[in-house]
Structure 1
């Protein structure tokens, strides 16, 4: 099985990059499953709305994951329970959290569990992702042949620690959240594909997708500022390709991909 995973979609530019480039990437790489992190895909670059979700799905996306901005757009609670291929971090605390933290995709009899967890270092103190992921994998091991995890976290050490903790139990752990693609794609223990961060899909020339002026001013004066998506920027689409051996569930290959509107990075 081949998976195409695309990092954090930011604003209208990010949605447009998905619409314009996912069909071509699917034609080139021939993935069986395409997964996109859409937690910043609203026009304001925070949260997700139904329109953006539908646009991503109609562009050939199979699953949309979220992160710490999952609830940034209140509209989410109106549709998340009905959006069967939209998942939020599994480890939000409480018993009545809207939506779900995983889904299972069946491709010609091969069952891929797609899971979403959020880290706690420098982010909100959710339930322990390590323990909860381990427990969920045990619950699903008879229902899934392979496991893919979008680990939405800030600290590189937490991302690698999470992946090493679960290595040999899951097929892939790919990090999201920092919007900067890392150069460390590898396979842990010969079984688990890992990339610290898949990068960002959206405005390439801003600061993590936002207009630079307000971000820089925040650093200078330490006062709150309203960040705006840099929609005038050229676009970028970032992510990775992962191959999984369907006989063993082990990853055999991972490579990062980056493409600007005017050519490859």
Structure 2
């Protein structure tokens, strides 16, 4: 068993606090907008594994530091390590290694979904790409009025592969998911509430976090084994479907992600200009 207090001292991208039976996990970055770099993907499953092993933890609040939940994947931090996977002449070995990398990141997000204790995501500011993958793995989501959401991977020539395409259909419905994933558009907290992505919208970040904490405390006051049983029963069908979808998309991206369009997306991102995609 890993004690969360033992690992907290070494965390870079996350902070863990506890108040009685409620744990609070805060995204720290360290990149701008709590962007998700190598430290995040390494630490997320460790933190949730430690919380899951602690019988005193009965609910978890997940939130972001500063003004935003997360800008999503930290491309400048992650891409150098992926260069051998994504080259135009990448053969079977590097593509197999990339498949393993995608599945490692999928398991990190999956640690949130698999948490024995229900997870409440409190979202303020931007929640983009990988941020949406993570909140999709939470049990309940609440947001502040200025929050914005985007399943933006299509804008950078990537098929989202960390869980949003698999989990959101059961949260917002197939039609809304297809619109979000195929356009990469931004949506407001108001629309997020209307389509069911978030349960409630609060005036500001402070009231959103307070509501999430109160909801977590309400859950934590119930019989813990029964709460765990409710979550298990609700998840038994969806997680089997999610797992099959994750395996499919990881194999699809390992085969097809390297492209001229991906290179153009990265170059345009670095040069802060609109990309020009050619379908190559």
TM-score by length of 1: 0.30
Pair member with larger Rg = 2
Higher percent of residues as helix: 2
More strand by share: 1
